[in-house]
Amino acid sequence: MTSLNLLTLPHWPCAYRSPQGNGRIRAFPSDFIVEEMLSFKPSGEGEHIFLQIQKINQNTEYVARQLARFANVRQRDIGYAGMKDRYAKTTQWFSVWLPKGEIPIWSDFCIEGVQVLSVTRHARKLKRGALACNRFVLTIREWSGDITQTLETLQALKAHGVPNYYGEQRFGREGQNVRKALAMFEGEKVPREQRSIYLSAARAFLFNCILAQRIENGSWTTGLAGDVLMLEGSQSVFACDDIDDALAQRLANYTLHPTGALYGKGDLLTQSVALQLEQNVFDAYAPLTQGLQTFGLESARRALRVNVQALTWEYDNAQATLVLAFSLPAGSYATAVLRELIAYSS
């Protein structure tokens, strides 16, 4: 790969049968509802104001900038746990560091599509990733297809989880964030606030390619020799020489998950067969890996599989709608669930 024009997002494979339905998502903001659940309860005391905000068709960074302006604080004094979809109805928390001075009247924070739902305090800034989960309610309209097979796939997702792909939101329209990352690696000047977006897109692209290979060889749930495994519900990992019976049982019980590399400086931790598979992907996209090395990101691991918690569904044949409700841990994408079910348009 020597040209930016050669890099397009591939159609990464699904884990189950090909989607047996078609439908439309985000016909209305209320068709894509996301509620953020913090991993802790704010104490009610401290120098950081915690605001629970509902937003419709507004992105997280824009709301954070407007909060900083409204409260007359620096941008770095605003905290939030994660980015949320713009074209959706989302509820998330923000923190504002106000150690002294006059407290703003938060009900006067008026932006189109934004509403402050509750206000409290906490001793520390809200950090990225400080989430228990995100809860989703998704309405798929204009449904057509084989509903029987789709419901069978839903049962499989509920029982066995889904591939933990990064969603298309991470890559920008038509994968432009990955192309912009390549341009940045080749020396193009990029605004500082955009760098992390492009770096994250490059790492996510490589991860998805690794996951695609693991789906194709059937090892995304069962593990490979030399794999790195992650404990369910944590970021703790350990390397294994081989998948023995005890590890195979824990993988089958979903208390362990195989992982894929988030490329960067440092040891990948994989060995043997798993290492060779990852290295083949990195070699195929050398301009991305070389660029990530140059920018100094540290390597990390991400689970290849994610459990879909509290998954329910309701199909209305007369209205041609399928409504899904479920929870996912921080960093996992609702579109990873949708792509296993339907070929969708927004």
Instruction: Return mean pLDDT, the chain.
Output: 93
pLDDT digits (tens, 9 = 90+) for 79-111: 999 988 889 999 999 999 999 888 999 999 999
Sign of CA dihedral 40, 44, 48, 49: positive
Catalytic position from the list 31, 77, 85, 146: 85
Cα separation of 194 and 77, whole Å?
19
| 40-128, CATH topology level | Pseudouridine synthase (3.30.2350)
**Beta-carbon count within 10 A of 92 CB:** 24
What's the confidence (pLDDT) of residue 3? Answer: 44
Distances (CA, A) of 245 to 106, 221, 224, 236: 57, 14, 13, 21
| 244 annotated active-site | no
What's the confidence (pLDDT) of residue 296? Answer: 87
pLDDT digits (tens, 9 = 90+) for 162-200: 999 999 989 988 889 999 999 999 999 998 878 999 999
Q: Which CATH number fits domain 164-306: 1.10.760.10, 2.60.120.200, 3.20.20.70, 3.30.2340.10?
A: 3.30.2340.10
What's the confidence (pLDDT) of residue 20? Answer: 86
pLDDT digits (tens, 9 = 90+) for 187-238: 999 988 789 999 999 999 999 999 999 999 999 999 999 999 999 988 899 9
Q: Give the domain ranges of the chain.
A: 40-128, 164-306
pTM above 0.85, yes or no: yes
Label residues 216-234 b or e (16+ Cβ within 10 Å = b): eeebbbebbbbbbbbebee
Residue 265 is given by DSSP the state B
Sign of CA dihedral 333, 337, 339, 344: negative
Q: Is the pLDDT of residue 53 over 50?
A: yes
What's the confidence (pLDDT) of residue 222? Answer: 96
* Antiparallel, parallel or unpaired: β 300-303 and 305-306: unpaired
